[in-house]
Amino acid sequence: MSAEKVISPASGLSASASSAPRTGFNWSLIMGAAFLMATSAVGPGFLTQTTVFTQTLGASFAFVILVSILLDIGAQLNIWRVIVVAKKRAQDIANELLPGLGIAIAGAVALGGLAFNIGNVGGAGMGMNVLFPSLSPVVGAAISAIIAVTLFLLKDAGKIMDRFTIVMGGALIAMTLYVLFSTEPPVGEALYRAVWPEQVDVIAIITLVGGTVGGYITFAGAHRLIDAGVTGQEALPQVNRGSISAISLASLVRVILFLAALGVISQGVTLDPANPPASMFQHAAGNVGYKLFGLVLWAAAITSVIGAAYTSVSFLKTLHPFIEKHSRAFIIGFIVTSTAIFCFVGKPIALLIIAGAINGFILPVTLGIMLVAATRKSIIGDYKHPVWMSLFGWLITIMMAAMSLYTLYNMLFG
């Protein structure tokens, strides 16, 4: 069977995918899906949310991170397993449960992707502003959008961007580790507050979970496995490893960034509210670190802009054949629309936080649908979803739904 080229949903990766099921453990495929999901999560919103909440909550943010990691693992394990066993994409599973439900899910995920992409465009603008102070974030966002569309249209843009992202991601981790060790953060207090926090912020939990496995992000890795033919019950060991590896990668970066930010803040430094993560690196690594972080932030944002647009439109293809036929034009339109909204609204920091919260609202709906699908033989055949996993999944669904309602109430009336 001939292979087709698939543009990776989050990072523009071009990969050969075969529709034929694969058996046996394929480490490169599993790590590819894990890396895809992790890089989808670690974008400008991730960097900004972690820094802002560390400044707000201090060492108690460790508790929020710990809770979010547990929720992330439970949600992603359930979603990935059901999708791989069913051998269908999420929206197709939802349509089998209830005709039209997949269309609603596709619309919700696309809406969450739009919110995320507005934040990504804002992150690109902030990165440009760090590199070129004469450019405002709005102007930087507009220029970045033009670059993103140009890169998307290039034949080998996916491979170039993937390598660029890996280099920039490595630079980010190296810089963050430098800040961490140079500022000597209170690790002992962070460990203590991870289980005994001084304060608990529900909105922070919703935002972190939404920014890690909410909206389109968790489906990026699962759908990649489907594209690669990693399907059926025999693939479940690979799914378990890939899912947990993805969350572990993203969480490791989150913990390192948190400790680095805590180290800076514990020295009495007040971060610049206009660009908290860049300000943190400037205080710890000087102007060179500040400029290098601007480049890293821009790189993370520009790849996320294309990735979020691609994945969101891939869900919208369910709505009408016209969208599938003209998907490239819709992706470009998605990027342009995101940029126009950002340029009109501004406030990149607020948008990056809100985007995570919005995707947190979507998670209990999509997770609930996958859990119901796990009980239907017409969808999963003779597969028996583990009872403990279902119970854990429903607990997460209820918790996320309750916290989402609480967050919505606070946004409207708080």
Lookup result for tokens 């790849």: 303
Q: Is residue 31 part of a domain?
A: yes
Mean pLDDT of the 195-203 span: 90
| pLDDT bracket for residue 30 (50, 70, 90) | low
Alpha carbons 123 and 76: distance in angstroms, whole number: 26
pLDDT bracket for residue 7 (50, 70, 90): very low
User: Structurally, how many domains does the chain consist of?
Assistant: 1
For residue 34, the domain's CATH number is: 1.20.1740.10
User: 41-55, 78-92, 367-381: lowest mean pLDDT where?
Assistant: 41-55
Residue 317 clears pLDDT 80, i.e. is over it: no
What percent of the chain has pLDDT above 90?
A: 32
Q: Are 141 and 342 in contact (CB under 8 A)?
A: yes
Query: Is residue 1 in some structural domain?
Result: no
How confident is residue 53, by pLDDT bands cut at 50, 70 and 90?
A: very high
Strand 14-17 relative to strand 4-7, pairing: antiparallel
Residue (of 204, 238, 300, 290) closest to 12 by Cα position: 300
| Position with higher pLDDT, 410 vs 205 | 205
> Encoding tokens for residue 170?
């490595």
pLDDT of residue 13 exceeding 50, the answer is no
Q: Tell me, what's the pLDDT at 66?
A: 94
17 part of a folded domain:
no
Q: Is 387 exposed, middle or buried (0-12, 13-18, 19+ CB in 10 A)?
A: exposed
Q: Please report whether residue 396 resides in a domain.
A: yes
Q: Is residue 43 part of a domain?
A: yes
pLDDT band at 36 (very low <50, low <70, confident <90, very high): low
d(CA 23, CA 19): 13
DSSP alpha helix (H) spans, 42-134: 44-57, 61-86, 90-97, 101-131
Structure tokens at 174: 């190296």
Q: The tokens 């403990």 sit on which residue?
A: 388
Per-residue model confidence as pLDDT tens digits over 320-330: 788 888 888 99
Gap between the Cα atoms of 189 and 119, Å rounded: 32
Residues 307, 190: Cα–Cα separation, whole Å: 34
67-119: per-residue pLDDT in tens? 999 999 999 999 999 999 999 989 899 999 999 898 888 888 888 888 888 88
List of residues 6+ apart from 278 with CB closer than 8 A? 126, 130, 272, 290, 293, 294, 297
pTM: 0.81
Between CA 218 and CA 241 the distance in angstroms is 15
What pLDDT, on a 0 to 100 scale, did the predictor assign at position 154?
79
> Is residue 279 assigned to a domain?
yes
Is residue 364 within 8 A of residue 147, CB to CB? The reply is: no
What pLDDT was estimated at residue 381?
A: 93
Other CB atoms closer than 10 Å to residue 191's CB: what's the count?
13
Query: Do the Cβ atoms of 306 and 151 come closer than 8 Å?
Result: yes
**Cα(205)–Cα(70) distance, rounded to whole angstroms?**
11
In a domain, 82, yes or no: yes
Question: What pLDDT shows up at residue 414?
Answer: 64
For residue 12, being part of any structural domain is answered with no
pLDDT in tens, 261-308: 999 999 888 888 888 888 888 888 888 888 988 888 888 788 788 878
Domain coverage including residue 264 = 27-413
**pLDDT tens figures, 240-269:** 888 888 888 888 888 988 999 999 999 888
